[in-house]
Amino acid sequence: MQDSLAPLTLDGHYLLHEMFRVRRGEWRKLLEERRRGLAEAAAGLLAKMEKRPDGASCAVAILGQKADLMLIHFRPTLEDLHQAQQDFAGLELRDYLEPAGSYVSVVELGLYEMTLKIYSELEGKGLQPNTPDFDKALAEEMARQRERMKGRLTGAIPPRPYVCFYPMNKKRGEIKNWYAEGVRRRSEMMREHGVIGRRYGEQVSQIISGSIGFDDWEWGVDLFADDPIVFKKLVYEMRFDEASSWYGEFGPFLVGLQFSASELGRLLEGQTPALHS
């Protein structure tokens, strides 16, 4: 087995994060009835997106000055994802929202240890990598793994009120280069990383998405929790494991409040919206 082997991944729904700032000055110039009508139309669209059986959306009120509103869309295809973007862009409300960023990725489960196990088993059967028989057997095994993990690849958005999103990379520096480490060594480090995450399993719902080839960073991380302080504790503790301390690079963090579509008008009017689960 080649030590430079790339770990296998299971890929699920595509994700689009859209961030906006409210153009408060222009919004306040509108009559109250007009503002209400625009908010209700947008809330109606978001309500339909929340309940899609094949991939949902959620709205997040962002704290700080990076944005006011973040929408997270989960869809089975890029075409579906683009349509979600277009549907929201077609609203009249959109004229009063200024884009503040976006992120495109796909739900990803990295199979570090499973990759070693699968390759060892197939090679133990006399199959050689990069041959038709090996590729066929590998595809069959990946299909079984995909069915087993289907709920994590296409599951619903966690109905928890606090949300944290950030992108990240693995370092490719002159001294430390994640991609130059052997697959077994990378697997050991990710096992340690995963142990920490599992300790927070009941407190945090985590969605990891791959963005290599899709956006400027390599992964996106979405965390959902009932207590926001757990974001600090989890990320802080993970900074000390080897995979993060030597190889982790973190992008900007966005933290906010997930809210129900019916609460959009409250956000636009300068009030704190709520999540009705």
Report pLDDT digits (tens) over 237-265.
Answer: 888 888 888 888 999 999 999 999 999 99
Mean pLDDT of the residues in the chain? 92
pLDDT digits (tens, 9 = 90+) for 40-57: 999 999 999 998 888 999
257 close to 227: Cβ distance less than 8 angstroms: no
Structure tokens at 176: 């430390």
| Least confident window among 33-42, 61-70, 133-142, 190-199 | 190-199
Predicted confidence band of residue 189 (pLDDT cuts 50, 70, 90)? confident
CA 84 to chain centre: 16
Q: Give how far Cα 69 sits from Cα of 59, 237, 255, Å.
A: 7, 28, 11
Q: Which of 126, 81, 129 shows the shortest CA–CA distance to 107?
A: 81
Q: Per-residue pLDDT for 110 more than 90?
A: no
CATH number of the 13-106 domain = 3.30.70.1030
Tell me what the mean pLDDT of segment 95-110 comes to.
97
Highest mean pLDDT: which range of 4-8, 159-163, 233-237: 159-163
The reply to whether 166 belongs to the active site is yes
Other C-beta atoms within 10 Å of 221: how many? 19
Q: Which of 103, 162, 166, 200 is catalytic?
A: 166
- The per-residue pLDDT for 116 is 84
Structure-token match 């945090």, residue found: 204
